[in-house]
Amino acid sequence: MPTHAPIRVGIIGVHPDRGWASTAHVPALRDLPQFSLSVVSHHRIETARASAEKFGFQRAVSSTEELVNHPDVDLVVVTVRVPEHLRVVTAALEAGKSVFSEWPLGMNLRDAETMNSLAVEKRVSTMIGLQTRANPTVRQMRELIRQGYLGEVLSCSIIGSGITWGEELEEAFRYTLDPSKGASMLHVPFAHTIDALLFALDDNFHSVSGTLVNRRTTIRMTESQEIVPLDVADQIAFSGKLTSGGLVTSHFRGGLSRATNFHVEINGSRGDLLLTSPVGYVGLGGFKLMGAQADESLHQILAPGEFAAGENVLTGNVRNLYDFFASDMTSGTRQGPTFGDAVTLHRLIDAIEQSGGVARDV
């Protein structure tokens, strides 16, 4: 494909009125001239046609097979639920198409490794939806740390809230209560947050341990008020030793707190950084970055390219990620997270699940 030609996008599972694809992916892609909205699919052709008309896709189809094999699709975007990823991503890779899959890549480490191996075999471009890596504030943290703002990283402390997995749950997210589906608080908000931290630190874990606790044994469905079992952890205690030697500790809670909902503090030998947000974890809202060195008082640090007040952070993060992908795909750069990065994060989550509170090598 010529580098000047727009990358023709096919998105699987777009609904005209709701969903992550219509909320974040479509607005992001429409802002970027490097892409064109080519084909949209939904298992109900009426829904696909409505999405095509509303968002400006050139064609609507009713099956994954039609979309991934369509000659006018260069990049397949997968935004359906996690349990469907293995089938859908595999179909796209077998068709020789590049793939952008939302995180988590698979329901478990085995599925993620399978998809990554196939992508390597097919020699296609991939991206995983770890969109916080494209957030200007997180990237500013990474640059400051790279420049030595912190000196030697000594420790990192994280408080987070899952938002979901609290007192109530919308019916659309009932599947996240099944631990086998790979979409729990551990797999989504916790994983996104830890990935953003590791990206900012440009580091990884040497060993990890985690304790997963169910304090709520039931949860109420918002629409029906039905009380159902809560079989995934609503409390996560985590500790890990970085390859550089620093200590990371974290506590994630289901629902939201009336006190602190998101707090990431990194302490170094020369300085400290503090990242906060009004919501429970990275990626959903705006950030405030503060720092101090020597005798300074803690003060706000602005990031180049930071989103304007009122700008949709979700769309902005995803738009930046697509911008990276276009550069990686057409110019050979290496800015965006790939399926290989997804496997690394899946391996970390798997180690936490298996640890039982005992430190495990990653």
Domains of the chain, first to last: 7-132+321-337 (3.40.50.720), 135-307+342-361 (3.30.360.10)
Which segments of the chain have a pLDDT < 70? 1-4, 283, 357-358
Q: What is the pLDDT of residue 235?
A: 97
Judge contact between 53 and 74, C-beta under 8 A.
no
Q: Name the packing angle between helices 191-201 and 339-355 (round to 10°).
A: 120
Q: What is the pLDDT of residue 3?
A: 52
Closest to 33 measured CA to CA, from 317, 306, 330: 330
What backbone phi and psi angles, to 5 degrees, belong to 358? -105, 135
pTM score, whole prediction = 0.95
Q: What is the pLDDT of residue 4?
A: 65
Longest dimension (CA), the chain: 63
Q: What is the pLDDT of residue 67?
A: 98
Q: What is the pLDDT of residue 283?
A: 63
